[in-house]
Amino acid sequence: MNLKKMAMAAASITAMMATLTSSSKSTTTTLAFSSSRGSTNIAAAAISSIARRRSDKMIGEGGGGALFVAMRSAAGAAAAAAAPHCRHRPALQRVHYYYNNLHRLFSTTETNTSEQVDNATEVAATATTTSAIVSEEEDAILSNLQSPFLQTMRDRGFLFQCTNLAELDSLLTTATSNKQSISAYLGFDATADSLHVGSLLQIMILRHYQQCGHRPIVLIGGGTSKVGDPTGKDESRILLTDEIIRKNTEGISKVFQKFLSFAPPNSNENEEGKEEENGTTTATTTNDAIMVNNDTWLSSLQYLQFLRDYGTHFTINRMLSFESVKQRLQREAPFSFLEFNYMILQAYDFLELYRRHDARLQLGGSDQWGNMISGVELGRRVDSAQLYALTAPLITTSDGKKMGKTAGGAIWLNADRLSEYDYWQFWRNTNDEDVIRFLKLFTELPLSEIKGMEMWKGADVNKAKRVLADEATALLHGRECLKGIHDTIDNMFGGGGGGGGDGDGMASTEGLTRTYVSDADLESGGGGGGVKVVDLFVQLGLASSKKEARRLIQGGGAKMNEEKITDENAILDKTTFGSKNEVTLRAGKKRAGVVELKNE
């Protein structure tokens, strides 16, 4: 079906909707595409958006909601067909937001559309970024945002979806003018003892939020971690014990201190500044960050009372329409009742944080959009609260890979899981096509400075990568670590030689990942003593497995002190160290680690 036919189909649906809702107060928005062959605008879809409905019966029983979903499907098909021909994309991340705007027009306090609107929301949540629908009305709202936070989200590429954007902009702007703050939260489940770089986008959003004068709330999912988020998973998560969740909570909590400003631990400025039980921290000033754990309220819920109070606000119909549920069911993969409750608990978190800390905004990734909308709706239905949800895009690299995953494993944020050097190298190895985008998202360089780098070509792109690596590493580990990393890089990869750093002119290894061996280790190994080199490659994170380490050796990419390793059964023993106390292992040209001999 060509674009003209798509436009005709969308127009027909518009006419049908207009006829059905002729007694309602409505507005019609025409969405257009700009052809790549010129400036000619092609009317690819005309969507009637009902801004205010006076009759719930018309929507709930008259079929308006079902037709709305059909209209969205037709518009989405038109958008997908037109996407390859579109030039009018000011920011690709904004396209999805436009597509979802119809939900905003339906989800007002004057309506009670429940099932049909909820289904429409889920359709919106599963739309892809190939959609090229552009709403002129929403483009105007985005272009005229007044809130410094929302301006930052828009200009740096964080803004993907948002409910009631104009109202949220007004709320934040008014609060700023009155020197007040609005609390917003973002949740992190304790599924590992360190967050990885895939969570960094969310942490940066909280950082920007605080810098704009508002209060960020870090929600640690100690309670929801006992259930496990099914989003994006093909099978159930392994259930974690309370002890593991406790250790993971301690591990992931540390990183937020590096990006956010919390109240002093022993602050007694006022009652709000005291530390609560179970480690929950509160604030002493209007925008001090606070950290809370949802285990505080989730673990004390009474099941039957919870069902009676909140279960009536969730329908199985809508829950089955969630993309995470549909994918599991389509694959005929088991989907436990435990996991099925996750979306309810996440929605309840928003209500609880609104009641406890006046949180008005939930932030998150676009994969959480459906759950976040559930929280917005729950707050409206139960407490008549006007709440908001804003998501950022899920970041993938230009070659389609998930952000934060490499051949060597996850890029952890805690230094005890990944060295400063390896973290720096991760950013230095960014694809050319991703450098500018990542500079906007993961550094605080002024946009004007980043814009100047957009014109850099050839070898200058490598300079931009080094800037990215420096700035991203400085934010996490502190700028003082950069000198050691630079010295290591310049010496090891700039012709300075290799081997142990003992002050004899050999390369500095200060910033490299380290593993330690003792005299006892070197004497107790098999075959007369020593430690297998393949084991050391795995310990240093230079290979994900012994099998990969052997392939690296077979391919000629493994070195020890600049000497190529040819034997996959090679052993590291005392003679390898000679008069030095460390040995450098390399995997390829850019990855290296140090084996240090510890004298007992």
Q: What is the domain-level CATH number for residue 226?
A: 3.40.50.620
Residues 204, 322 share a domain: yes
Query: Which of 92-96, 203-207, 594-598 is predicted least confidently?
Result: 92-96
Least confident of 124-128, 172-176, 537-541: 124-128
Contact of 319 with 340, CB cutoff 8 Å: yes
DSSP code per residue over 332-351: T----HHHHTHHHHHHHHHH
Place of tokens 């958006």: 49
- What ranges in 358-494 are assigned the alpha helix state H? 369-383, 420-428, 435-442, 447-453, 459-477, 482-493
Of 459, 493, 527, which residue is a domain's last? Answer: 493
Q: What is the CATH number of the domain that holds 464?
A: 1.10.240.10
Residues 368 and 281 in one domain: yes
Q: Which amino acid, 571?
A: I
**49 compared with 419, residue with greater pLDDT:** 419
By mean pLDDT, which of 155-169, 212-226, 564-578 is the weakest?
A: 564-578
Contact 436, 464 (CB under 8 A): yes
SS3 call for 264: coil
Single-letter code of the amino acid located at 265: P
Residue with the larger pLDDT of the pair 274 and 248? 248
Query: Do the domain assignments include residue 136?
Result: no
- pTM: predicted TM-score of the whole model, two decimal places: 0.68
> Of 406, 444, 445, whose CA–CA distance to 427 is shortest?
406
Angle at 456 between CA 455 and CA 458, to 5 degrees: 135
Look at residue 551 and tell me if it is in a domain.
yes
Tell me the pLDDT band of 517, cut-offs 50, 70 and 90. Answer: confident
Answer whether residue 95 is part of any domain: no
Mark whether 308 and 339 lie in a shared domain: yes
Whole-number pLDDT of residue 413 = 95
State residue 350's pLDDT score.
96
**Is the domain of 189 the same as that of 268?**
yes
Q: Six-digit token pair at 191?
A: 């599924």
- Residue 200, classed as helix, strand or coil, is helix
Between 30 and 204, residue with greater pLDDT: 204
pLDDT tops 70 at residue 417: yes
**Residue range 442-497, pLDDT digits in tens:** 999 999 999 999 999 988 999 999 999 999 999 999 999 999 889 888 776 655 44
Residue 450's SS3 state is helix
Please state the separation of Cα 388 from the chain's center in Å: 18
Residue at 328 is within a domain:
yes
The answer to whether residue 585 sits within a structural domain is yes
Whole-angstrom CA distances from 175 to 141, 213, 286 are 19, 9, 11
Contacts of 383 (CB under 8 A, 6+ apart): 351, 354, 355
Say yes or no: 445 and 568 in one domain: no
| Same domain, residue pair 315 and 190 | yes
| CA 181 – CA 174 distance, rounded (Å) | 9
In this prediction, residue 190 carries a pLDDT of 92
The rounded distance, in Å, linking the Cα atoms of 229 and 189 is 8
Provide the β-strand partners of residue 412: 196
Q: 461, 493, 525: which is the final residue of a domain? A: 493
Instruction: Please indicate, yes or no, whether residues 466 and 586 belong to a single structural domain of this protein.
Output: no
Question: Measured at the alpha carbon of residue 299, what is the angle toward residues 189 and 361, in degrees to the nearest 5?
Answer: 50
Which of 22-26, 65-69, 456-460 has maximum average pLDDT? 456-460
pLDDT at residue number 280:
52
DSSP-derived 3-state class of residue 154: helix
- Cβ contact 342:330 at 8 Å: no
Residues 217 and 279 in one domain: yes
Confidence of residue 563 (pLDDT cuts 50, 70, 90): confident
> Domain of 556: which CATH number?
3.10.290.10
What's the rounded mean pLDDT across residues 415-433? 91
What is the percentage of the chain residues whose pLDDT exceeds 90? 36
Does residue 253 lie in a domain region?
yes
Confidence of residue 265 (pLDDT cuts 50, 70, 90): low
The predicted model gives 236-254 an average pLDDT of 89
Residues 425 and 532 grouped into a single domain? no
Q: What local confidence, expressed as pLDDT, does residue 234 receive?
A: 56
pLDDT digits 0-9 by tens, 200-234: 999 999 999 999 999 999 999 999 998 877 665 65
Q: What does the pLDDT read at residue 528? A: 54
| Mean pLDDT of the 550-569 span | 87
241 vs 526, more confident: 241
Whole-number pLDDT of residue 93: 37
Work out how many domains the chain is built from and give that number: 3
The predicted pLDDT at position 575 comes to 83
Q: For 173-195, how does the pLDDT look when each residue is reduced to its tens digit (9 = 90+)?
A: 999 999 999 999 999 999 999 99
Instruction: State which residues form the domain around 293.
Output: 180-381
pLDDT value at residue 72: 45
**471 and 523 within one domain:** no
**pLDDT at residue 389 tops 70:** yes
159 domain residue, yes or no = no
Q: Do 302 and 435 reside in the same domain of the chain?
A: no
Q: What is the mean pLDDT of the chain?
A: 74
- 326 located within any domain: yes
168 has pLDDT over 50: yes
The answer to whether residues 459 and 519 belong to one domain is no
